């Protein structure tokens, strides 16, 4: 919870246009401590309350961000799909579009298709999808820049 409150403080300061120095001054005024690292959860809540008093309105029920695929080979599928979308080759460049592509292209071959691409576990199936997407990219003359995606 402490980390979530720290993030909320940063979001509030950003929305109110406070820089790092102004944020530390606000924290010092609210808790007597300039560093969030030294604060307890209750003290962080005091800082959030001070931000709310200054006009910060946190979004209730904000959608959590989706984490990346759990495995590198599945992340590659997402990268290839994104590149095809950026090149204008897809009607639906969303995750739902990728799942629909996999169901339509491989459903008759595999018999059972997972509900989501990140549920793929068979290496042969994952390779089938990667090969299909790279072939589509080659047919569309898309240059997949692999250096951009290396960590």
CA distance 88 to 83: 9
Verify that 48 and 117 share a domain, yes or no.
no
How confident is the model over 54-109, as pLDDT tens digits?
999 888 765 556 666 668 889 999 999 999 999 899 999 999 999 999 999 998 88
Cα–Cα distance, 31 to 39 (Å, whole number): 8
Do residues 9 and 48 lie in contact, with contact meaning Cβ atoms separated by under 8 Å?
yes
* Domain count for the chain: 2
- Same domain? For 47 and 102 the reply is no
In a shared domain, residues 134 and 76: yes
Owning domain of residue 91 = 72-149
The closest alpha carbon to 126, from 84, 89, 92, 76, belongs to 76
User: Rounded distance, CA 85 to CA 27, Å?
Assistant: 44
Same-domain status, 76 and 145: yes
- Answer yes or no: are the C-beta atoms of 81 and 93 closer than 8 Å: yes
In a domain, residue 103? The reply is yes
Contact 126, 69 (CB under 8 A): no
The verdict on 45 and 114 lying in the same domain is no
Q: Give the closest residue to 142 by CA, choosing from 64, 86, 74.
A: 86
Tens of pLDDT, residues 103-146: 999 988 888 888 888 888 889 999 999 999 999 999 998 887 66
Tokens 């071959």 belong to residue = 109
Which parts of the chain fold into alpha helices (H)?
A: 2-16, 20-31, 41-53, 72-86, 95-110, 123-139
Output the CA–CA distances (angstroms, integers) from residue 35 to 7, 11, 56, 107, 112, in the order listed.
13, 16, 20, 55, 53
- What digits encode the pLDDT tens for the residues 3-38? 888 999 999 998 899 999 999 999 999 999 999 999
Same domain, 85 and 145: yes
pTM: 0.53
Q: Count Cβ atoms below 10 Å from residue 127 Cβ, excluding itself.
A: 11
């Amino acid at each position: 919870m402490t980390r979530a409150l720290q993030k909320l403080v940063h979001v509030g300061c950003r929305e109110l246009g406070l820089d790092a120095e102004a944020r530390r001054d606000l924290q010092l005024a609210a808790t007597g401590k300039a560093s969030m690292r030294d604060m307890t959860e209750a003290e962080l809540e005091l800082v959030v309350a001070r931000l709310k008093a200054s006009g910060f309105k946190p979004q209730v029920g904000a959608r959590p961000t989706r984490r990346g695929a759990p495995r590198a080979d599945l992340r590659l599928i997402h990268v290839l799909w994104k590149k095809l979308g950026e090149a204008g080759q897809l009607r639906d460049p969303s995750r739902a579009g990728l799942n629909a592509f996999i169901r339509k292209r491989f459903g008759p071959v595999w018999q059972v298709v997972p509900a989501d691409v990140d549920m793929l576990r068979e290496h042969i199936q994952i390779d089938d999808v990667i090969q299909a997407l790279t072939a589509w990219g080659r047919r569309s003359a898309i240059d997949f820049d692999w250096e951009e995606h290396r960590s």
